[in-house]
A and B are shown apart, each in its own frame.
Chain A
């Protein structure tokens, strides 16, 4: 059977919206309501951030949300407990867990994959997991539990390395829009960026592509969709949740502002 991510891309080839939020933010119990709301509001895929104390690839907004989530008491045990009935509530939308390797390794990679799969996750985004360690140590475990890895590509990633990533997954490739961490504008001019998006698009890869980093509103989402199958938004959603009294309502309004 095809995984949920592949099924989603089979049904819809463009304008896919992948929304990231941090588990346990703004409140510990916000995870499930946010997940349900995002799925109902039109997010085609959902990334749940597993908060980490030192998220190197993330900018200040996601780091701050992670700090708050950790203070709220979020950890992997709590997250898996929160997600245990999620597939009854959100049956179809692919769920990806995004985070850093250290908490996963402390939890135990096998136990983590087992529980992630049991909780209904379809894929894992671990930006500091090296490709070679994935192939040699983790691939078999990921496959045993039906979890797809998602690899990040940057303007500097060599074509043969992109092909190697493409061969190692049946999900999508995460095109980092330009130099920088999440939530920042990129310092790259639009011509260079366009050339990079086109260069990857013309490679004829097996997997669809989603553009992330620096996508935060309808305008940037629409533009990203010209060059890929869709885009990923994180920091902008988190910002809309800051200080919101009704987090799901704020998330719903945010998704609507991007799609409509």
Chain B
């Protein structure tokens, strides 16, 4: 089975480009050019040099000794939280800004949920001296305030979105509308492996540096390029796509995608798309989508602003339906527990999104000799306000996890 998209952007039954005609020329221009531009040695030289000297790659692969003891398996953390701006998101924005420049674009727009992609976009726009507008759900601007201020400091204009659920889905709608209104000079830097073809493939390729490095580092540290498990959280799924990419055709590697269950799968307040979703169309691609029986897109919920998206990337929908990846749902409580646990056991405060992936360790069933790589997609600084809100709970979890 192939895990690469066909020429129309389909991964099995998922993908495609379901866009209004107003976006067709933009998306078509990108589709025609992205592979050629990315294959250009000059692009690669510039991209690799920025990844190394600006982003800080390769990121370490850290053997988490105390976490390993706790789960009686060998846990390695791929430290994307050590990337410049604090998350894996910058791998993609560095690549796309170079692409945008080669396409002759002058203005950059982006959507953001947790703010990590917005910050990463604002950062590369500052670096390249390009105009930057970031759409963010009003609710997200409130729960991720430090990132809003960071974007402004970097010179980006943050536009709070008040339509719909005022979160990531609506921010994406508004960004698309902006692109419809500015079809010539604007490039839309989508932050995840979602959207019309070629975005899912483009973003997956730009993030694939994560699994490329994992293979080299695993060989060095364990004597084998292949782990038994790769675990990553999934909202749209860009960090998971990057972590899975170079293992997709290695059937011995179990790929584990972790979704946000929110208050619980059946609570009506969840973002576990692989369980609750049905095939449908959102933001330009056919994928698994949370919707009601009339095809209206329903509001997802997760405590983490980066995971409450009602769809997943079409690659992930394909991985879910084909069984290539195992999907696990983690609720808010378990994620908060994992925040406390990693902080206390390893001295690393993870992002709330990433904590979902960490919480899945308890459910993997990995043995003492198994090698598990968790993609530590981002750091928790941006979530400090949320963590302060749950300080009492986190402290009791922390002493609990440290004493076990």
What is the interface of chain A, defined by CB distance below 8 A to chain B? 52-54, 56-57, 59-60, 63, 70, 75-77, 100-107, 127-130, 132-133, 151-154, 156-158, 161, 176, 179-181, 184, 187
Contact = CB atoms under 8 A, between A and B. Distances in A.
Given A56-B283, A105-B279, 6 more contacts: A103-B294, A106-B294, A133-B18, A152-B21, A179-B184, A181-B180
Nearest to B19: A128
Please name the 7 residue pairs, one residue from A and one from B, whose CB atoms are nearest each other, closest first: A106-B295, A103-B295, A156-B25, A57-B20, A152-B21, A127-B20, A53-B296
A132 B18 CA distance: 10
Contacts of B8: 132
Contacts of B282: 54, 102
Contacts of B61: none
Nearest to A174: B21
Given A103-B296, A104-B295, A156 B184 contact: yes
A105 B8 CA distance: 19
18 contacts: A53-B164, A54-B164, A56-B20, A56-B173, A56-B176, A56-B180, A105-B295, A106-B280, A106-B294, A106-B295, A129-B18, A152-B22, A176-B21, A179-B22, A179-B184, A184-B181, A187-B181, A187-B182
Name the interface size band of chain B: 35 or more
A117 to B, nearest CB: 20
Contacts of B19: 56, 128, 130
Nearest to A63: B163
Given A181-B181, A184-B181, A187-B181, A102 B163 contact: no
B177 interface: yes
A56 B177 contact: yes
A121 B355 CA distance: 51
A59 B164 CA distance: 13
A15 to B, nearest CB: 25
A187 B173 CA distance: 20
Nearest to A107: B295
Nearest to A176: B22
B293 A106 contact: yes
Contacts of A187: 181-182
Given A75-B294, A105-B280, A180 B21 contact: no
B17 interface: yes
B281 interface: yes
Nearest to A161: B24
B18 A179 contact: no
A57 to B, nearest CB: 4
B16 interface: yes
